[in-house]
Amino acid sequence: MININKTHGHGLSLTVKIFIGLVCGLIFGITLSYFGPSYLRDEIIINGVLKLAGGLFVRSIKMLVVPLVFISLVCGSCAIGDVKKLGRIGVKIMIYYTVTTALAVALALVIGVMINPGAGLDLSKLVKKEASFSEARPVIDTLLDIIPENPAGAMARGEMLQVIFFALLAGLAMALVGSNARTAADLFNQLNEIMMKMVSLVMLFAPYGVFALISKTFATAGIDAVIPIFKFVAGTIFAMLLHVLIIYGGMIRFIARLSFTKFIKKTVSVIEVAFSTSSSNATLPFTIDAAVNKIGISKSTAAFTLPLGATVNMDGTAIMQGVAAIFIAQVYMIDLGLSAYLKIILTAALASVGTAGVPGVGMITLSMVLQSVGLPLEGIALIIGVDRILDMFRTTVNVLGDIACTLVVAGSENEFDETVFNSPDGIVTESE
Ligand code: ASP
C-alpha cells in the first residue's frame, strides 16, 4: 500500500510546510504593508531578504523550463508515437485526450474572461513596457514561427513553441525508428527522471520561496491583492468543476450511456489519493485498480491508456494555465489578441503533454504558455504561493479525465464489463 501522507524524513510533509509558508507569508506581508516606508522595511526586508529568497525560487524554476519541456515532450511524443502499435484504441484514446484538453483550455479562457480575476490589481509598472510583446501578429506569421530555423537558437532564446515543435518531431521520429533508437529513448527517459528529481529538489525550497513571494506581493500591493488572487483560485476551481460535470459528465452519460453519479462513487478513493498527493504518477496504481476492479474496464486497455494519460493528459493543469494566463495578462495590463488566445489553447494543450505527473510541474510548464504569448514570467510569483492548493484540485481532474476517456473508449471497443460497473463493490481484489 502506498503511503500517501509521505513525510520527507522529518515530521511535516512538504505540502503542510508549503501551506505554513503561504499563511505566514500572507500575515507577514499584510502586516508589513501597514508600516510606512522605511529603510528597514523597503531596502532590507522587501527588496533585500524577500527579493532574494523569492528570486532564488523563481529563477530555479525558470532554469528548469527549457530542458524540462524539451526532454519531457520528446518522451511524451515518443510514447504517443508508440500508440500506433496499439491500433484503434491508441488512436481513439489520443483523440479523446486531445479534444478534452483543448475544450478544457477553451472553457478556462471563457471563465477567465468572464470573472476578470486580475481586475483591481495593477502591476504594470513593475515590468518593462518595451518588452510588451504579445500583440497582434498576423496569424500566418504566428504559424510560420512555430518551426525553428535553428533549434539550438530557439532553446537559447526560450522560444517555447519552436522548442515544442522540435521536441514533438524528435520524439515521433524516435518512435518511428523503433528498436534502433532504443539507446536514445532510454537516455531520454533517464534524463526525464533526472529533470523530475531536479524539480523535487527545487520544490524542497518551496516553503521559503512561497513565504517570500507571498509576503513581498502583499507587502507591496497590500490587502488589495487578496481579492484578485482569491478570484483566480476560485475561478480556476470553478472551471475545473464545470469541466468535470459538463465534459466528463456528458461523455459518460451520453457517449458511454452510464450513470455519472456511479462513476464518481467508484472513483472516490482515486480522488482522495490524487488530491492528497498532487501527483498523477503516485496515484496511478489506485487509478488502474479502480478502473479495472470497480469500473470494469479491461486490464489490457487500462494498463496502456492510464499510464499514457498520467503522462500526457492533464486537463486540470491546462485549465489552471488558461485562467493563469488571463489573470497575469490583466494584472500587467496587457491586451491579448485573438492569435494570443489561440496560442494559449495550443501551448496549454501541449503543456499538458509536457507536464509530468508529479507535484508542481504544471507551474513550470505554465512559463512556457506565458512565454509563448509574451506575458511576463514575473506573474508566476503572484500565483506560485497558492499553486499547491490548485495542484491538489488539478491533479484530481487530470486523473478523472484519464479514467473518463478510457471508459468511453473501452465501452466502444467491448473492453468494458458493465456488471462490474453496476455491482456496488465491483470486484473484490487482493489489494483491498
Ligand atoms: N501535479 C500534477 C499531476 O501530477 C501536474 C501539475 O503540476 O499540474 O497531475
321 lines ligand 1 (CB under 6 A): no
Exposed, middle or buried: residue 259 (CB in 10 Å: 0-12, 13-18, 19+)? middle
Exposed, middle or buried: residue 244 (CB in 10 Å: 0-12, 13-18, 19+)? buried
Q: How far is the CA of 363 from the centre of ligand 1 (A)?
A: 9
Which of 128-142, 149-163, 320-334 has the highest mean predicted lDDT (pLDDT)? Answer: 320-334
Phi-psi region of 358 (alpha: psi -120 to 50; beta: other; left: phi over 0): beta
280 lines ligand 1 (CB under 6 A): yes
Q: How far is the CA of 430 from the centre of ligand 1 (A)?
A: 29
pLDDT of 394-420, one tens digit each? Answer: 999 999 999 999 999 999 988 899 999
By most ligand atoms within 8 Å of CB, the mutation choice from 203, 270, 275, 279 for ligand 1 is 279
Q: How far is the CA of 401 from the centre of ligand 1 (A)?
A: 13
Q: How far is the CA of 404 from the centre of ligand 1 (A)?
A: 17
By most ligand atoms within 8 Å of CB, the mutation choice from 317, 383, 400 for ligand 1 is 317
388 lines ligand 1 (CB under 6 A): no
Q: Which domains does the chain have, with CATH numbers?
A: 14-422 (1.10.3860.10)
Exposed, middle or buried: residue 36 (CB in 10 Å: 0-12, 13-18, 19+)? exposed
| pLDDT band at 126; cut points 50, 70, 90 | low
Q: How many CB atoms lie within 10 A of CB 197?
A: 11
* 18 vs 319 pLDDT, higher one: 319
* 116 vs 81 pLDDT, higher one: 116
What residues have CB less than 8 Å from 7, skipping those under 6 apart?
13
Which pLDDT score, from 0 to 100, does residue 139 have? 66
Phi-psi region of 423 (alpha: psi -120 to 50; beta: other; left: phi over 0): beta
pTM of the model: 0.83
Q: How far is the CA of 309 from the centre of ligand 1 (A)?
A: 12
DSSP reduced 3-state for 416: strand
Of 154, 160, 78, the C-alpha closest to 350 is: 160
Phi first, then psi: give them for residue 416, nearest 5 degrees.
-140, 135
Number of helices (H), then strands (E), in the chain: 20, 0
pLDDT of 262-289, one tens digit each? Answer: 999 999 999 999 998 899 988 998 999 9
Q: Are 369 and 344 in contact (CB under 8 A)?
A: yes
State the Cα–Cα distance between residues 371 and 298, nearest whole angstrom. 41
pLDDT of 57-83, one tens digit each? Answer: 888 888 888 898 889 888 878 877 776
Residue 41 in this model has a pLDDT that exceeds 90: no
Residue 223 in this model has a pLDDT that exceeds 70: yes
Residue 107 in this model has a pLDDT that exceeds 70: yes
Q: How far is CA 106 from CA 47, 363, 372, 396, in A?
A: 38, 19, 17, 19
Cell digits of residue 264: 464518481
pLDDT of 170-202, one tens digit each? Answer: 998 998 998 899 999 999 999 988 988 898 898
CA-358 nearest atom, ligand 1: 4
395 lines ligand 1 (CB under 6 A): yes
Q: How far is the CA of 43 from the centre of ligand 1 (A)?
A: 36
Q: How far is the CA of 269 from the centre of ligand 1 (A)?
A: 18
Query: Which residue lies with its CA nearest to atom 7 of ligand 1?
Result: 362
Q: Are 224 and 120 in contact (CB under 8 A)?
A: yes
Q: Are 199 and 367 in contact (CB under 8 A)?
A: no
355 lines ligand 1 (CB under 6 A): yes
Which pLDDT score, from 0 to 100, does residue 137 have? 59
CA-320 nearest atom, ligand 1: 8
Orientation of helix 361-372 relative to helix 182-204, angle to 10°: 100
Least confident of 27-41, 128-142, 282-296, 413-427: 128-142
Residue 130 in this model has a pLDDT that exceeds 60: no
Across residues 136-147, what is the average pLDDT?
A: 73
Q: How far is the CA of 362 from the centre of ligand 1 (A)?
A: 6
Phi first, then psi: give them for residue 13, nearest 5 degrees.
-75, 160
Q: How far is the CA of 424 from the centre of ligand 1 (A)?
A: 30
